[in-house]
Homo-oligomer: A and B are copies of this chain.
Amino acid sequence: MSALLGIDYGGTHTKLLLVDGTDGDGPILARESVRTAGVDELGQEVRRFVADRPVAQFAMTVAGTFDAGTGVVRRSVNMPWLDGTAPAHRVSEAIDVPGSAVQDGIATAVGEATLGAGRGAEDVFVIALGTGIAGAHIVGGEVRAGAHGGAGEVGHIAIAGEHRCSCGQTGCLETWIGGGQLGRRWAEQRGSGAAAVSTAHEVVLAAEAGDEPAQVVLRNAGQALAKALLQVSAMLDPAVVVVGGGVARSPQWTVHPAFDTARRDATFHRLPEMRLAELGVWAGAHGAVLAAAHELA
């Protein structure tokens, strides 16, 4: 019996996932998280992981842009050693299994939409609240990428305010709830200046300890997310919206209030079912397995 392999090759950790069968949704045969190394070491790591189980196809995530035909990475901000290389091609040679690359955000979204919180729904929008914010509309298991591959940029729709976003605009969703921005909002709220930039996790810990400025920041973040949910509903009308990512790991402070506010503020909208992501850090590896299944089909 053949299996599929998903490799989620991240900046600090790499997830290896072996799934039975060739549909991508079979039982998990093995999974392992290892510290990320260079591509040659990865090849050895994967060979050890797979042992002598027969693998029909694999896919591996790339955190950056790459050429769809050759798999050559154009630019990886977080993993610059990949620039100009074809990592999936090299792993393929190392393990003697055909494989391809898949963009990491797309793998994560397809994983959650198909096998995670979106499973069973035909039309799912996934929002990943990380350092930045990623979005993807998955219909029938396929990402709607847009005419130039730029669709789903929910992090950069205008919500309110004058905070400068990493994208160059002001007032984007990301300025309110991006993991890289919550610390700045907290510093402003305390009047402590830009010197003291905390992580999203530190803001949540402070809010839990009763820090009022932190609670205000997270309340504002939830309100901004609620507005984005209404915009997604108005423009795309998905059946399900799945919210995940690091910031969603403490959903009581941001995501759950956002779901409640969206329900309260909806007027003409046919609201989607709003769900928390389920696969956590394994979503990308599952998405890679699905990409491998897709290649094989």
Report if A236 contacts B (CB, 8 A): yes
Contact B151 A236 (CB under 8 A): yes
Contact A152 B235 (CB under 8 A): yes
Give the size category of A's interface with B. Answer: 35 or more
Report if A237 contacts B (CB, 8 A): yes
Report if A239 contacts B (CB, 8 A): yes
Given contacts A148-B270, A158-B227, A272-B147, contact A169 B265 (CB under 8 A): yes
Distance between Cα atoms of A257 and B169 in the complex (Å) = 19
Taken together, the copies of this chain in the complex come to 2
Contact B147 A123 (CB under 8 A): yes
Distance between Cα atoms of A157 and B236 in the complex (Å) = 11
Distance between Cα atoms of A148 and B236 in the complex (Å) = 10
Contacts of A233 in B (CB 8 A): 150
A-B pairs, top 5 by smallest CB distance, nearest first, are A146-B237, A168-B267, A147-B239, A148-B270, A150-B237
Report if A238 contacts B (CB, 8 A): yes
**Interchain CB contact (< 8 A) of A150 among B150, B231, B270:** B270
- The smallest C-beta distance from A178 to any residue of chain B, in angstroms, reads 14
Distance between Cα atoms of A233 and B158 in the complex (Å) = 12
Contacts of A232 in B (CB 8 A): 235
- The smallest C-beta distance from A280 to any residue of chain B, in angstroms, reads 26
Q: Nearest B residue to A273 by beta-carbon distance?
A: B147
Report if A295 contacts B (CB, 8 A): no
Contacts of A145 in B (CB 8 A): 237
- The smallest C-beta distance from A60 to any residue of chain B, in angstroms, reads 25
Contact B234 A153 (CB under 8 A): yes
Cβ proximity bits A232-258 to B, threshold 8 Å, 1 near / 0 not: 111111110000000000000000000
Report if A25 contacts B (CB, 8 A): no
Report if A218 contacts B (CB, 8 A): no
Greatest chain B CB density within 10 A among A235, A236, A265 is at A235
Could you tell me which residues of chain A, from 138 to 169, have a CB within 8 Å of some CB in chain B? 145-154, 156-160, 167-169
